Chain A
Amino acid sequence: MKLYCLSGHPTLPCNVLKFKSTTIMLDCGLDMTSTLNFLPLPLVQSPRLSKLPGWVLKDGNTFLDKELKECSGHVFVDSVPEFCLPETELLDLSTVDVILISNYHCMMALPYITEYTGFTGTVYATEPTVQIGRLLMEELVNFIERVPKAQSASLWKNKEVQRLLPAPLKDAVEVSTWRRCYTMPEVNSALSKIQLVGYSQKIELFGAVQVTPLSSGYALGSSNWIIQSHYEKVSYVSGSSLLTTHPQAMDQASLKNSDVLILTGLTQIPTANPDGMVGEFCSNLAMTVRNGGNVLVPCYPSGVIYDLLECLYQYIDSAGLSNVPFYFISPVANSSLEFSQIFAEWLCHNKQTKVYLPEPPFPHAELIQTNKLKHYPSIHGDFSNDFKQPCVVFTGHPSLRFGDVVHFMELWGKSSLNTVIFTEPDFSYLEALAPYQPLAMKCVYCPIDTRLNFIQVSKLLKEVQPLHVVCPEQYTQPPPTQSHRTDLMIDCQPPAMSYRRAEVLTLPFKRRYEKIEIMPELADSLVPLEIKPGISLATVSAVLHTKDNKHVLQPPPKPAQPPASKKRKRVSDDAPECKPLKPLLSGSIPMDQFVQTLEKHGFSDVKVEDTAKGHIVLLQEAETLIQIEEDSTHIICDNDETLRVKLRDLVLKFLQKF
């Protein structure tokens, strides 16, 4: 059993598991942090960005000044943003049989895999994952395609050139494999390969393994996966949460008794408690608005935003913010808000019960109804007519490199009354803000990551008790910035196996059994012999038939009836085959009784020596040695076959035959 690790990002995993005869890809996350190296794509012409000076090498060479721009001491690529794909060279991705998706954030690289690698298999995901994943992809494509950029930078990717660049460009990995965003036709084609599944549904893969999605509690439709054969069980835990937020609660019990547990997608900010962060978010929002400032919340169009809106729904009246407009701007804002209300079966218990009242499960419906929350596909059109300040704007993209958020950063960045509140943990807020410097607006970092923290992981592992844990290497050591926090790592016995990008792990786990079925007629013919109470044995002669990874013992083909005239010949031909099979022996030889028997049969000078594996019986007079071990007995005598047979028969008296 092998695990091919194609992504180094612990929360955007992409691993391939080879298990029995199947090749299963576990998630295909897209690492978008590469976009932080690019200049933002403004929706409206930005004089500030267009006037940024080109970057000049120390020796005055200007050949890169068209591709690289300098802003407040940082260098950015002036080109269409590109993404860092999962590793494609480690194994032939066309051999992947299935892709299992655990949540909508972990499928963003799907079009690159399904459309470019010769993939012919099936993708499995839950319905909300597919629908919201589609929205995220649509939004991403829309953000990038609506601001066409003629220029495509490639000079800087040259290894020799890259070496000369300042950090972080200098240290960016595998820049040559970075790719532009996919297109909508590619998205549609990729999504068409998905087969929808429900929680606890058992899916047979070629008869070899069975895969089952389980609720993971992190997002709408998010799943962990069980991959099991008859005797082996691998659990894949990716992006799970034990907090009571909107999704259905995590199913922990089904993860029990795993041979291997692959653990990814833990919280990215283990020191930030989501509850505390929501409090921070609300306090900072209220303070800004009370002082007449605007609040910008860069976010994804689905996920934590639902919880934030619910929290604000309860808070705005008490904080005196009833008259402050909340805007949600995204090409998929409307679909996202509406989708959230229709996936009742995927929601937590409280929200499910609301549907039967009937009430919308999320209170943002009421916010929309009372005009407190307004949503728009973009800043153009209706929004510009309705726009009132001070206000709160939720919009993407959290990287601040594309989407409507770029416009608001440019618009509000100059005033210290305004605040940008980062709630998505995927991007370093300082790096995200770098091309906007110098910035007067206040920045608040309130990352809300509801995924498992290390305390919860420790409890989970104690509960489900897997034999082996496999996880990204980042989880096996304290965070680099807090090396003394040994509580921020996985602590389990035996220690977790770690992986990094482009590594192949041989999982510490050997398959010992295989299930074989016996045809009824063959079973009928067996004559079991009880060798000890409760255990019977029988010898079987059969043909092993294997098809679709299923093994069946069938009765051996009956020899064709030979013509009578040839009877004699047949007898002579088959004579060796008809030789009765030697019976199988079992049992152990009690030494005292054996010695007594030997003495009874005239062997007077019997000596017994204990060895590491058993005993040696010495018959000194007969110059014979009987070596008795757990699984073999040897009689060593000097060419005296009669003696040997006699001794053999004495040994056999103590053993059972069948």
Chain B
Amino acid sequence: MWREPWGGRLSSPPVPGAKARTAGLRGACGSAKKTRCIMDRECSQLLPSVCAVLADSRQLVADDTFLEKFLDWFKTLTETESSLLLLQENPCLTELITCVLKLKDPSSSTLSFILRLTGIFAASESCFQYLQQRELLISLFGEVGPLSSALWEEASVRSGWVQGVHSMVQHQSALHFLCSCGAIEVIFTLQGDPSLFVASAANQLLVHMLTFSLQSFQTKPENIKDCDWPICAQKLIVHIEESLKSNSASRIKQSLKLLTSVFGCCHDLWTEVLWSRLSEPIVYLLEEEPVHAGHSLVDLFLSMARSPVFSCPECSLWTSVTCALEHLNPAQVGRLAVGVLKLQECPQAVKIQALSVLLQPMDCVLKAASQPLEYPGLLNRSVNDSATVETLLSCRSSCASLLCQTLTHLEELQYLTCLPVDLPHIPLLQSVVTILQFCIGLATPASCLGNKISRILIGCFRVQRSALDILGALSHWESPSVFIGSVFDILLAYLKSPDTSPTVLKKSFQATLKWLVSLSEAPSSKDHWQQTEQFLQDLFLVLQKRLCSPYWEVRDSALEFLTLLVKHLREKEGFRQVLFSSEVPKLTEDLLEDPESYVRASAVTAMGQLSFLTHLISKKPGVENGNVKEKSIVAQLKEILSTDSEGFPRRAVISVFIDWLREGHPDVLKDTEQFVSSVLQAVNSDLDWEVKAGGLELAEVFSAQLLGRLGLAACPYAAVLSSATRSTHLSESLQIFCQVKLFEFLFGALCDCDRPVAQKACDILIALKAELCDESSLKEGTSAGLSTEARGIAWLEETLRRWSSCAKPCPRGDADEAGSQDPNGVLLVLRTVDLEGLHRSLNRSSDHIEKSPQSLLQDILATVGTLEENEADCY
């Protein structure tokens, strides 16, 4: 789909038991059991049956997510309890391992599970010894175990083996065991496993083994060759070295990947020793023609460059990085260049070279479209062989991807807070404009390469999008008028062109917005105003046409752009003049009735912004019926809120109303209470949870504003009111809340079946309770004989039911009667209901009960039971 408005904000699943929450209103506090991570008695009792099920090859556990959950539980258990004790207290676990080992034909999932489970236990050294004594480890991880069985063909078994070993390697004994039983060679083989998951896990395991075995080497040994590194580490390093020197591309890639992870996760001094040993074969890889494994080398250098161990400018790493910047293919090297430029600690010369690498394709494009000496170009001297870049640019398959990558990398640089090198932003801007011109056939090629680029780029949306992105990012630089002119020209060309695709159009709008905002904020904005004003006039003509487009995506993008434009530039008098002399405001209002709901929603948001301006404009003579029109807009939006069949426009209306209330929209200020009351009433009957959440936010803003206005808000800098004044203000605010039927709305939302709505309502009520039900009011209430005990639960239920029925929309005229809330009654309800308890219960996820280990064990047993039943049914 072209866009995903409100992406991901789907309705939340209903909370099981909105009814239960109503029960909570009566004072019941949620008493669900705490999630347990310990082996309690119930679990110990269930465990033998579960183990028996798992050990029985006839009883397959249908859902293997149970096994995953089971493992997760044991992982947590072993982190908090003694693994050895666990095994000793629950002998069924050891029996389970033994049983599975004895099975002639275990299922692959069970075997994989046992391997991982055993690994988790063996992570504890004492437990390791315990299992070792029973020869379970050698049977599982040694050559005689699954390794030699037919099940080894199953990727899940190999994966379980690797994960088991990974868990186990937490102590030296495990390393010795692995070295002695030949497991390391198995892991080396698994690096090239056909299953990517297994291969990746094996690689990670080797990384873990290497870093674990060397973690004690914090100081630099005098002599690398004679150093007393553990055997395991030595084996690994020899393996890596051999792989790097081999001619096998896949082995080289595996080793580079391994090293990337090692240097990425470990910043100990021994990594420097490791590099000094391996740098030679790695540099040799760079000198090959063509360079294989370019991407892996880039990953390695980036990972190393980020490590403090190699940050010293004299480090040999930088020589290799320089070599890589020179030798790697321009399509691969961009990522390294941008990574280098982002580094804090890096020799300046390398940074300059990295920037040159990124600028080279742009330089080629600029030169391809301009006569010699017309522009100085982007580079003082060419660092790399420009012929390679030119070849890539003149080929249809590589041109667009090289340019897209380069543009994206250069855009990333624009967002760096501090660019370490001087960026020639004007030539860069020219080259971006040139690319955009090429893409719509406006650039005149000046060379053979230019002709080729022109033919390739015309109509290339990918490059158009990337170029527009960076064009927008370049707006933060101060540019001379002539270049601003060329930017405006190219933007208008894209905005006007009927061939501009909806996605490119959206990018054009974004870039336009960035330039207009930057220019309006720049110190020299007055100098450019005339130019900007002319552009705005042309822009509104285009916008007018786009708002009438037959494609809804285009109308929608245009409205979104208009909204943002007004939001950012509304303070500019000149902007307002140009806007209101165009047809755009009228067309926007027409789009409130668009058949497409997304467009209506965007029109609502745009009108929300425009209405701030119509007020400003209406104060001036010559603008007709400003007030009348504004009123009609409020009425129109309210109508959309209560009648529109789609959720998007209604959500947009409530957002606009929140903004209006927050920012003090003149029309809202006229009668805020009436406004809030009518909106809450409309929202109360809405079935869309987002609209309701919006209504709650409106209520929150309103209540905070009112309490703040009366000096009741908990603000540390507010003047302290006398208790008498405070009491008066409290009762005044309570009165107003009752008038707008705020509590009816909030308690209604508290019982809503959508959890986010109920949560928010609960939060607001708790905040209000804190403000309104302070000690003094409590005393007052008690003295007035309004205690809960006095009124009873029946009264509470009756009150809430009455509020609930009152909150529903009622015919005009009945509102006063329905809203007859008793402020004292409200206080009493607030005090009576256990809001904090409800808050806790709402914060729990809906499946908190199902997550307990006991439930998991019962589920495993139940599943097996069901399977048996089904089996019986079959006969």
Interface residues, chain A, with chain B CB atoms under 8 Å away: 271-273, 276-280, 282-284, 286-287, 290-291, 311, 314-315, 317-320, 446, 455, 482, 484-487
Check: B806 CB closer than 8 A to any chain A CB. no
Contact with A along B567-592 (1 / 0, CB 8 A): 00000000000000001000100100
Q: Cβ of A487 and Cβ of B548 under 8 Å apart?
A: no
The listed residue (A272, A287, A319, A446) touching B550 by CB distance below 8 A is A319
* Known A272-B498, A290-B587, A320-B593: A484·B546 in contact at CB below 8 Å: no
CB neighbours (8 Å) of B788 from chain A are none
CA distance A34 to B454 in the complex (A): 36
Check: B594 CB closer than 8 A to any chain A CB. yes
CB neighbours (8 Å) of B445 from chain A are 484, 486
CA distance A512 to B47 in the complex (A): 91
CA distance A371 to B443 in the complex (A): 49
B569-621 CB contacts (< 8 Å) to partner A: 583, 587, 590, 593-596
* Shortest beta-carbon distance from A143 to chain B in Å: 31
Q: Cβ of A486 and Cβ of B441 under 8 Å apart?
A: no
Q: Cβ of A273 and Cβ of B498 under 8 Å apart?
A: yes
CA distance A276 to B443 in the complex (A): 21
* Shortest beta-carbon distance from B480 to chain A in Å: 26
26 contacts between A and B (CB under 8 A): A271-B441, A272-B498, A273-B498, A276-B498, A276-B500, A279-B554, A280-B545, A282-B548, A282-B550, A283-B545, A283-B546, A287-B544, A287-B548, A314-B550, A315-B550, A318-B550, A318-B552, A318-B594, A318-B595, A455-B459, A484-B454, A485-B458, A486-B445, A486-B451, A487-B441, A487-B458
User: Which residue in chain B gives the minimum CB-CB distance to A484?
Assistant: B444
* Shortest beta-carbon distance from B662 to chain A in Å: 33
Extra contacts besides A283-B549, A487-B454 (12): CB < 8 Å: A271-B441, A276-B497, A277-B498, A280-B545, A317-B595, A318-B552, A318-B594, A320-B590, A320-B593, A446-B498, A485-B441, A486-B455
Q: Cβ of A283 and Cβ of B550 under 8 Å apart?
A: yes
CA distance A320 to B498 in the complex (A): 22
CB neighbours (8 Å) of A278 from chain B are 550
CB neighbours (8 Å) of A487 from chain B are 441, 454-455, 458
* Shortest beta-carbon distance from B561 to chain A in Å: 16
Check: B499 CB closer than 8 A to any chain A CB. yes
CB neighbours (8 Å) of A485 from chain B are 441, 454, 458
Q: How many A-B residue pairs have CB under 8 A?
A: 69
CB neighbours (8 Å) of A315 from chain B are 550
CB neighbours (8 Å) of B455 from chain A are 486-487
User: Which residue in chain B gives the minimum CB-CB distance to A286?
Assistant: B548
* Shortest beta-carbon distance from B595 to chain A in Å: 5
Check: B551 CB closer than 8 A to any chain A CB. yes
Q: Interface centre among A277, A280, A284, A317, by most B CB within 10 Å?
A: A280
Q: Cβ of B454 and Cβ of A287 under 8 Å apart?
A: no
User: Which residue in chain B gives the minimum CB-CB distance to A289?
Assistant: B548
Number of residues on chain B facing chain A (CB within 8 A): 29
Q: Cβ of A482 and Cβ of B551 under 8 Å apart?
A: no
Q: Cβ of B549 and Cβ of A279 under 8 Å apart?
A: yes
User: Which residue in chain B gives the minimum CB-CB distance to A280?
Assistant: B498
The listed residue (A271, A279, A286) touching B551 by CB distance below 8 A is A279
* Shortest beta-carbon distance from A315 to chain B in Å: 5
B284-310 CB contacts (< 8 Å) to partner A: none
User: Which residue in chain B gives the minimum CB-CB distance to A287?
Assistant: B548
Q: Cβ of A290 and Cβ of B498 under 8 Å apart?
A: no
Q: Cβ of B498 and Cβ of A279 under 8 Å apart?
A: yes
B402-448 CB contacts (< 8 Å) to partner A: 441, 443-445
Q: Cβ of A318 and Cβ of B596 under 8 Å apart?
A: yes
CB neighbours (8 Å) of A291 from chain B are 583
* Shortest beta-carbon distance from B558 to chain A in Å: 10
CB neighbours (8 Å) of B444 from chain A are 484
CA distance A314 to B549 in the complex (A): 12
Contact with A along B459-470 (1 / 0, CB 8 A): 100000000000
CB neighbours (8 Å) of B500 from chain A are 276
Q: Is the interface of A mostly helix, strand, loop or mixed?
A: helix
Q: Cβ of A287 and Cβ of B441 under 8 Å apart?
A: no
The listed residue (B459, B544, B550) touching A279 by CB distance below 8 A is B550
Q: Cβ of A287 and Cβ of B583 under 8 Å apart?
A: yes
CA distance A487 to B596 in the complex (A): 38
* Shortest beta-carbon distance from A85 to chain B in Å: 36
* Shortest beta-carbon distance from A278 to chain B in Å: 7
Q: Interface centre among A271, A272, A283, A320, by most B CB within 10 Å?
A: A283
CA distance A311 to B549 in the complex (A): 12
User: Which residue in chain A gives the minimum CB-CB distance to B554?
Assistant: A279
CB neighbours (8 Å) of A311 from chain B are 550
B519-567 CB contacts (< 8 Å) to partner A: 544-546, 548-552, 554
CB neighbours (8 Å) of A320 from chain B are 590, 593
* Shortest beta-carbon distance from B15 to chain A in Å: 39
CB neighbours (8 Å) of B497 from chain A are 276
CB neighbours (8 Å) of A446 from chain B are 498
CA distance A215 to B444 in the complex (A): 38
* Shortest beta-carbon distance from A493 to chain B in Å: 15
CB neighbours (8 Å) of A318 from chain B are 550, 552, 594-596
* Shortest beta-carbon distance from A453 to chain B in Å: 10
* Shortest beta-carbon distance from A442 to chain B in Å: 11
Q: Cβ of B499 and Cβ of A276 under 8 Å apart?
A: yes
* Shortest beta-carbon distance from A443 to chain B in Å: 14
CA distance A283 to B549 in the complex (A): 5
Q: Cβ of A486 and Cβ of B454 under 8 Å apart?
A: yes
CB neighbours (8 Å) of B587 from chain A are 290
Q: Cβ of B458 and Cβ of A319 under 8 Å apart?
A: no
CA distance A596 to B554 in the complex (A): 89
Q: Cβ of A290 and Cβ of B451 under 8 Å apart?
A: no
CB neighbours (8 Å) of A279 from chain B are 498, 549-551, 554
* Shortest beta-carbon distance from B758 to chain A in Å: 39
CA distance A277 to B500 in the complex (A): 11
* Shortest beta-carbon distance from A459 to chain B in Å: 13
CB neighbours (8 Å) of B590 from chain A are 290, 320
Q: Cβ of B499 and Cβ of A273 under 8 Å apart?
A: yes
The listed residue (A272, A284, A317, A455) touching B545 by CB distance below 8 A is A284
Q: Interface centre among B451, B545, B546, by most A CB within 10 Å?
A: B545
CA distance A486 to B548 in the complex (A): 34
* Shortest beta-carbon distance from B495 to chain A in Å: 13
Pairs of residues from A and B, 7 with the lowest C-beta to C-beta distance, nearest first: A276-B498, A286-B548, A282-B550, A283-B548, A484-B444, A276-B499, A280-B498
Contact with A along B504-518 (1 / 0, CB 8 A): 000000000000000
CA distance A485 to B455 in the complex (A): 8
B470-503 CB contacts (< 8 Å) to partner A: 497-500
Q: Cβ of A282 and Cβ of B458 under 8 Å apart?
A: no
CB neighbours (8 Å) of A277 from chain B are 498
* Shortest beta-carbon distance from B355 to chain A in Å: 31
CB neighbours (8 Å) of A284 from chain B are 545, 548
* Shortest beta-carbon distance from A167 to chain B in Å: 27
* Shortest beta-carbon distance from A476 to chain B in Å: 16
Q: Cβ of B545 and Cβ of A287 under 8 Å apart?
A: yes
User: Which residue in chain A gives the minimum CB-CB distance to B591?
Assistant: A320
CA distance A45 to B160 in the complex (A): 95
Q: Interface centre among B455, B544, B550, B554, by most A CB within 10 Å?
A: B550
User: Which residue in chain B gives the minimum CB-CB distance to A315?
Assistant: B550
User: Which residue in chain B gives the minimum CB-CB distance to A277?
Assistant: B498
Contact with A along B646-668 (1 / 0, CB 8 A): 00000000000000000000000
User: Which residue in chain A gives the minimum CB-CB distance to B501?
Assistant: A276
CB neighbours (8 Å) of B552 from chain A are 318
CB neighbours (8 Å) of A482 from chain B are 441
The listed residue (A271, A317, A319) touching B548 by CB distance below 8 A is A319
CB neighbours (8 Å) of B583 from chain A are 287, 290-291
CB neighbours (8 Å) of A287 from chain B are 544-545, 548, 583
CB neighbours (8 Å) of B554 from chain A are 279
* Shortest beta-carbon distance from A615 to chain B in Å: 48
* Shortest beta-carbon distance from B646 to chain A in Å: 15
CA distance A154 to B435 in the complex (A): 54
Contact with A along B126-141 (1 / 0, CB 8 A): 0000000000000000
